[in-house]
């Protein structure tokens, strides 16, 4: 029996790694169309807290998750989680998201 692996995808949310089919960059017509279809079907989850979407996760059941974490950052987190690194503590996540807030203000 294999252990269930999770990765942090932003805003204190986790995703089960074996459920993720793709991590896409937003902004193309195809991705925007897929987002609209998912919204209409009730399969869209926005975890960005009204920030700019930086990645779109497609899950094996058709669920679409919009995150404010970049594709490359998520990829690094997925690799670390797959290698068995422990998840960060709540305090570490809060600190990281405070930094994210600061970086968003600079843009």
Q: What torsion, rounded to 10 degrees, do the Cα atoms 56, 59, 65, 68 define?
A: -50
The pLDDT-based confidence of 41 (bands split at 50, 70, 90) is: very high
Question: What are 2's two structure tokens?
Answer: 């294999």
Helices (H), the chain: 29-41, 71-82, 90-106
Strand order in the sheet with 55-59: 20-24, 55-59, 64-67, 44-46
Per-residue pLDDT of 83-94, as tens digits, reads: 877 666 656 655
Position of tokens 């970086």?
A: 103
| Average pLDDT, integer, range 1-23 | 89
Q: What is the pLDDT of residue 4?
A: 85
Q: What is the pLDDT of residue 84?
A: 79
């Amino acid at each position: 029996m294999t252990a269930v692996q999770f990765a942090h995808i932003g805003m204190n949310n986790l995703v089960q790694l074996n459920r993720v089919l793709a991590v896409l960059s937003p902004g193309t017509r195809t991705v925007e169309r897929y987002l609209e279809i998912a919204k209409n079907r009730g399969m869209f989850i926005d975890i960005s807290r009204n920030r700019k979407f930086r990645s779109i996760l497609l899950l094996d059941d058709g669920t679409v998750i919009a995150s404010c974490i970049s594709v490359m950052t998520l990829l690094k987190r997925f690799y670390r989680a797959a290698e068995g690194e422990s998840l960060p503590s709540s305090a570490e996540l809060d600190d990281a998201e405070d930094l994210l807030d600061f970086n968003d203000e600079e843009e």
